[in-house]
Each structure stands twice: as structure tokens, then as C-alpha cells.
Amino acid sequence: MISKTSINKRIPRKKDGYIVDTLFLAKNSEKWQKVAQIISGPRRKYSAVNIDRIEKESSNGDVLIVPGKVLGEGNLTKKLKVCALYFSTSAANKIKHNRGEIVKIIDEIKKNPNAEGVKLLR
């Protein structure tokens, strides 16, 4: 478990303003602390989750958090809300094709500060 202090020390090393803004919001909420821990680390340790894994580990109507990038390998048949730092073009098209919702993590933190009903995929 990484403390808020450690996360604060890692923030100045981040060059992407979007990541920094996401970290500031996530670290202050106890429910989003795990996401802040993951994205405060090196970018090479971010998750890369394919659509087929999302299909296997979710049910219709779930809200999934991917602290990294969603990739387009596989098929999706469920209507989901997927929140991630980044989306590949093919993954975004597949999620939208099934009437799913694509949301950046920072927007989900603002909308749902208590992280109600979210499922973290790493």
C-alpha cells in the first residue's frame, strides 16, 4: 500500500497534465486511492486490457475502471461503462457499437467520488 505522501512525491515526475490532474483527484478520495497508487507509478506498469478480457470479467451494465489503456482485441457483446486513461481507436469503436459508454477516469472520479458500483480491472 502506497501512502498519500509517496503519491505526492511521485506527482512532480509526471509530465502528462491529464495524469497529474487525475492523481490529484484520486489521491484525495479514499475510494479511489488504489487507482492513484497505480497511476502514480511508472507508465510501463499501467494496465493494458483487451476487449475480450473485459467481456469475460464483466456483466451487463457494469462500470469498469482500467488504470491504463483499453485495447481492441476481441469482441464485446455487453453494454458497459468503461473508464480508462486511454482507449485505442478499435476498442472505442467496439464499446460504442454495443451502446456502451467511454469515460476518462478523471470524469468518473468527479461524477462518482465514492466509487459506488465500480470494478477495477488491472
Instruction: Write out the three cell numbers for 102.
Output: 467511454
When pLDDT is averaged across residues 86-92 and rounded to a whole number, the result is 96
**Number of domains making up the chain:** 2
| CB contact at 8 A, 64 and 55 | no
Pull the grid cell for residue 25: 483527484
Q: How would residue 22 be classed by pLDDT, with cut points 50, 70 and 90?
A: very high
Look up residue 40 and give its amino acid.
Answer: S
Cell numbers at residue 94, please? 467496439
| Digit-coded pLDDT (tens) for 32-77 | 999 999 999 999 999 999 999 999 999 999 999 999 999 999 999 9
d(CA 120, CA 69): 13
Paired with 81 in beta bridges are 63, 101
Would the pTM count as exceeding 0.95?
Answer: no
Measuring CA to CA, which residue among 40, 42, 41, 39 is closest to residue 85? 39
Range of the domain at 13: 4-40
Is residue 31 located within the same domain as residue 89?
Answer: no
Residues 32, 84 within the same domain: no
114 and 55 share one domain: yes
Answer yes or no: do 71 and 106 share one domain.
Answer: yes
Give the HSE-up count for residue 37: Cα atoms under 13 Å, Cβ half-sphere. 11
SS3 (DSSP) at 118 = strand
Same-domain status, 98 and 73: yes
Contact 76, 54 (CB under 8 A): yes
